[in-house]
Amino acid sequence: MKKTLATTTILLSLAFGALLAQDKGKGGGKGPGGPGLTLTSPDFEDGGVIPDKYSQKGGQQGPSPKLEWKNVPAGTQSFVLLMHDPDVALQKKLDDVTHWLIFNIPGTATELQGGVPGEAKLPDGTINAKNLRGAVGYMGPGAPAAGPYHHYTFELFALDTKLDLGPDATRADVMKAIDGHILGKGVLEGRFHQ
């Protein structure tokens, strides 16, 4: 009896192992097989404090930080970058603060240089949308000194298309347009308060 039980256990283990080996590498539609799109900045570490230079501290409007990315998915035609502050709920809704929304970044790009101009349309076709204040381009972090650090989330979306939208597109317009076209996503988090 013990010998039969041991033999059965071994056979079941081998059969299960063979099934796992057969499925290995197929992915099963559960996610990317390699490393995902990675977004970084040489100006601050992921989860670190965003330097004052890139903020609204003292009433200034600092330049945008440099952003870099790698592991771009095959077939990427364009990128969308959204910077927002999820620590604020506007008008008792799920809306938060849009600090920067820039789209139609060329699919061949691997970075945004620091100090992206606040122009609606850049020479390479990239479009700067309006931030919370209604101004085109980057609006640096500005959480008050009296409160806790706010989290500033930079989300980079790799798309299989360019967006047929202009500079007047809202965040809702852009999010609706990218739905169903996202090949990959990278996230960088920074913290700030004055």
Quote the tokens at residue 190.
């920074």
Token pair for 183? 């090949």
Please give the class, per CATH, of domain 35-192: alpha beta
Looking at residue 14, its pLDDT comes to 42
Range of weakest confidence among 17-21, 89-93, 116-120, 150-154: 17-21
According to DSSP, residue 121 is labeled B
**Residues 157 and 121 sit within 8 Å (Cβ to Cβ):** no
For residue 23, with 0-12 CB atoms within 10 Å meaning exposed, 13-18 middle and 19 or more buried, which class applies? exposed
- pLDDT of the residue at 1: 52
Instruction: Give the H or E element holding residue 56.
Output: none
32 vs 50 pLDDT, higher one: 50
Domain ranges for the chain, please list them.
Answer: 35-192
Collapse the DSSP code of 20 into the 3-class scheme (helix H, G, I; strand E, B; otherwise coil) and give the result. helix
Amino acid symbol at 130: K
With 50 as the cut, is the pLDDT of residue 5 above it? no
How far, in whole angstroms, is CA 43 from its chain's centroid?
17
What is the C-alpha separation between 154 and 185, in angstroms, rounded? 10
> From the CB of residue 158, how many other CB atoms can be counted at a distance below 10 Å?
26
| Alpha helix ranges (H) inside 90-192 | 171-178
Per-residue pLDDT of 42-57, as tens digits, reads 999 999 999 999 999 9
DSSP secondary-structure letter at 115? Answer: S
Question: Structure pTM?
Answer: 0.82
Distance between CA atoms of 70 and 6, rounded to whole angstroms?
A: 50
Q: What is the mean pLDDT of residues 131-153?
A: 93
CB-count exposure of residue 77 (10 Å: 0-12, 13-18, 19+): middle
pLDDT digits (tens, 9 = 90+) for 94-127: 889 999 999 999 999 999 999 999 999 999 999 9
**Separation between Cα atoms, residue 105 and residue 92, nearest integer Å:** 32
Residue with tokens 């020479």: 123
